[in-house]
Amino acid sequence: MSQPAIELARAKVNLTLHVGGARDDGYHPLSSHVVFADAADVLTAQISNQFSLTIDGPFGAGLSAGEDNLILRAARFAHNQLGGPYLRFHLIKNLPLSSGIGGGSADAAAAMRHVANFSGRAVSDIARSEEIGADIPVCLLSRTAMMSGIGETVSRMTGQGRHYGLLVNPGVPVSTGKIFHAFDQGPAGDLAQPSNADLITAARAGRNDLQPIACDLQPDIIRVLDQLSGQPGVKLSRMSGSGASCFAITQDMQSAHDIQAHLSAAHPQWWIWAGGFGDPS
């Protein structure tokens, strides 16, 4: 039997997230500088007589592998456009669930890449992937980019290099629905962002419009941000997406690992990852 093909579903990190007012269809326009971390779920695939999925890994418990799983929905969506064989998927779930780092979308995008590869087609041949999820287009690319529209417009940002830092999740639930409901009660954000600055400079000039609301709903996020911002070597820290995961970009890898060791000792219940961000060299 041939070895299964492997796709990494890297964590999506919103360095910035500017959110506009809800459209008539309920979607929110946005603009976001996105970078991908080396932290990743692993999705393997082998040819089979039907689409199927099995799941394990540190965060796999309780995840349904049924027909409504986003991986299988994404695979069927891509297969309807590209054809090719059916696939048996296996997911190693290393990223925490519903945590603002696009784990589910990254998994779904990895499934779409598998379908494209097994069909001999290009990933760019998959149209309207945002219909599966707003983060799918940027996760299909899985490279440093600016995303806009409702997520369907993705502009790659080349030459941004590698960065180092941490992802921290306090292990508390955050309701995206509640966050957007609260956001809709206030003024919409300004979508404008720098387009000609280097990534970190642009990120420092931006913000996450959902962060204040998430912090009000879940104060543990404030604790994470306070811990990250006060550490030596941190150049930028913020919440990613709708939370509860937060990130810190550090001056070097050693700083990231030193902070990880310190925070892991002080907060053993937190999920803390340290490593590289940005496009592989």
Q: Are 12 and 35 within one domain?
A: yes
Q: Is the pLDDT of residue 141 over 60?
A: yes
CB of 13 closer than 8 Å to CB of 37: yes
The total of other beta-carbon atoms located within 10 Å of residue 62's CB is: 7
Report the pLDDT value the prediction gives residue 280, as an integer from 0 to 100.
84
Choose one of 132, 156, 180: the last residue of a domain. 156
Instruction: Single out the residue in 122, 156, 190 at which a domain terminates.
Output: 156
pLDDT greater than 90 at residue 259:
yes
Model confidence at 196: pLDDT above 90: no
Where in the sequence numbering do the catalytic residues fall?
A: 12, 135
Residues 30 and 137 in one domain: yes
Residues 151 and 38 in one domain: yes
Q: Residue 123 sits in a domain of what CATH number? A: 3.30.230.10
Helix axes 220-229, 253-266, angle to 10 degrees: 140
- Is the pLDDT at 71 greater than 80? The verdict is yes
pLDDT at 2 exceeding the cut of 80: no
Residue 246, phi then psi, degrees to nearest 5: -125, 160
- CB-based contact 102:92 (threshold 8 Å): no
Element (H, E) at 43: strand 30-48
User: Which structural domain range is residue 145 located in?
Assistant: 5-156
At residue 68, does pLDDT exceed 90?
Answer: yes
Question: Quick one: 67 and 82 in the same domain?
Answer: yes
Residues 67 and 150 in one domain: yes
Do 143 and 185 fall within a single domain? no
- Specify the pLDDT at position 265: 98
Q: In the predicted model, is pLDDT for residue 161 greater than 80? A: yes
Cβ partners under 8 Å of residue 210, min gap 6? 17, 19, 179, 180, 183, 239, 241, 242, 243
Please compute the mean of the pLDDT values over residues 156-178 and round it to a whole number.
94
Nearest to 113 by CA among 71, 55, 67, 68: 71
The average pLDDT across 155-182 equals 95
149 and 18 fall within a common domain = yes
228 and 146 within one domain: no
Q: Give Dmax (Cα) for the chain.
A: 57
Residues 126 and 58 in one domain: yes
Find where tokens 């990613």 sit.
240
Q: Does the structure show a pLDDT above 90 at 62?
A: no
Q: How many domains does the chain have?
A: 2
Does residue 261 sit in the same domain as residue 186? yes
Same structural domain, 138 and 246: no
Name the CA dihedral angle for 214, 220, 225, 230, rounded to a multiple of 10 degrees: 160
Q: For residues 16 and 129, state if they share a domain.
A: yes
Q: What is the mean pLDDT of the chain?
A: 96
According to the model, what pLDDT value does residue 173 have? 87
pLDDT at 1 over 60: no
pLDDT: is 269 or 173 the higher one? 269
Domain end among 99, 129, 156: 156
The CATH number of whichever domain residue 269 belongs to comes to: 3.30.70.890
**pLDDT score for 38:** 98
